Amino acid sequence: MDIILAIHSLVRWAIILVAAIAIIKFTISWAGNSSFKGMDRGLVSGYSGLIDLQVLLGLVYLIWNGLAGAGFPLYRIEHAIAMILAAFAGHLPARFKNLNDKLRFQFSLFAILGSLILVFIGLLFLPAH
C-alpha cells in the first residue's frame, strides 16, 4: 500500500513541472501570436495524462486503504472529489481544438490554471501532518 502512496506523492512533482512549463509556454505563445503546434498539444496531453494517473492512484489508495481498515473519512472523500474536478478541468483543452491559436492558448492556459486551483483546494481538505 505504501508504494501506491509513494508513487502518488512523486507524480505530483511531475504534474507541477509540466504545468509550470505549460503555463510559461502558453503565456508566451498567447502574447506572441504563435501557432498551436506539437509541443503545445504534448503539454496539454501530458498534463491531462498525469492528472489522470494521479486520480487513478489516489482512488486505488482510497479504496484499498479504506477497505483495509482506515475507513472513508469525509476529508478523503472531499479530497477525491476536488481532484476529480481538477482532472475534468485538465481535460478541457481537448474541447478547444477548433478555436484559433490565440484563443486555444488562452483557454488552455486558463484550464490548467483552473485545474491547479482545484488541486490546491483539494489539498486543503487533507489534514496537516
- The average pLDDT across 29-39 equals 95
Q: Is residue 80 part of a domain?
A: yes
Domain tally for the chain?
1
Q: What confidence tens digit (pLDDT) does each residue in 60-104 have?
A: 999 999 999 999 999 999 999 999 999 999 999 999 999 999 999
Q: Is residue 116 part of a domain?
A: yes
Residue 68 is part of which domain span? 2-124
Q: How many Cα neighbours within 13 Å face the side chain of 12?
A: 12
pLDDT score recorded for residue 72: 97
Residue count of the chain: 129
pLDDT score recorded for residue 33: 87
Q: To the nearest whole number, what is the mean pLDDT of the chain?
A: 96
pLDDT score recorded for residue 11: 98
Report the 10 Å Cβ neighbour count for 98: 7
| Calpha distance 114→116 (Å, rounded) | 5
Q: Is residue 72 part of a domain?
A: yes
58-67 b/e (C-beta count within 10 Å ≥ 16 → b): beebbeebee
| Calpha distance 127→34 (Å, rounded) | 43
Q: Is residue 14 part of a domain?
A: yes
Q: Is residue 56 part of a domain?
A: yes
Q: Is residue 129 part of a domain?
A: no
Reply yes or no on whether the pLDDT at 1 is more than 80.
no
Q: Is residue 90 part of a domain?
A: yes
